[in-house]
Structure 1
Amino acid sequence: MIRCIEATQLLSEKLDRPLSKKEKVNLGIHTAMCPACRQFGKHMLILRDVSQRYVSQTGDSEDQTPKDR
């Protein structure tokens, strides 16, 4: 079984790439038994959603910086 640090790493990577079958199984087993990691995964999804909505509302402005005051 994987540890929480490995599970949180996989939960983060899951947002960027497809996980292997082995990773999915290990993560599924771990999150089934670990409420903290389940909650972390939910928070990661919320943060991704909020970030995407923010970018879509402000326009994709990676190269823009705030104006000097």
Structure 2
Amino acid sequence: MTFNLEVEQEEDGRWLAEVVELPGAMAYGSSAAEAMAKAEALALRALAEQLEHGEAAPRNINIAVPTAA
């Protein structure tokens, strides 16, 4: 599975990163890197929960980071 991170700067200056393949997996940060790190951690936590509860099978994971970040 590949998780794609999208990041953009809000009008108020905060950065928002989203994991496209996991609806609702979004995180704010004071920098693009901080927002992406938080979103990546959130995605991994969600996947860990699914694995622990037998809702997903083990799989290879790739995380694609935007080049503009």
Shared fold, TM over 0.5: no
TM norm structure 2? 0.42
| Higher strand proportion | 2
TM norm structure 1? 0.42
Structure number, greater radius of gyration: 1
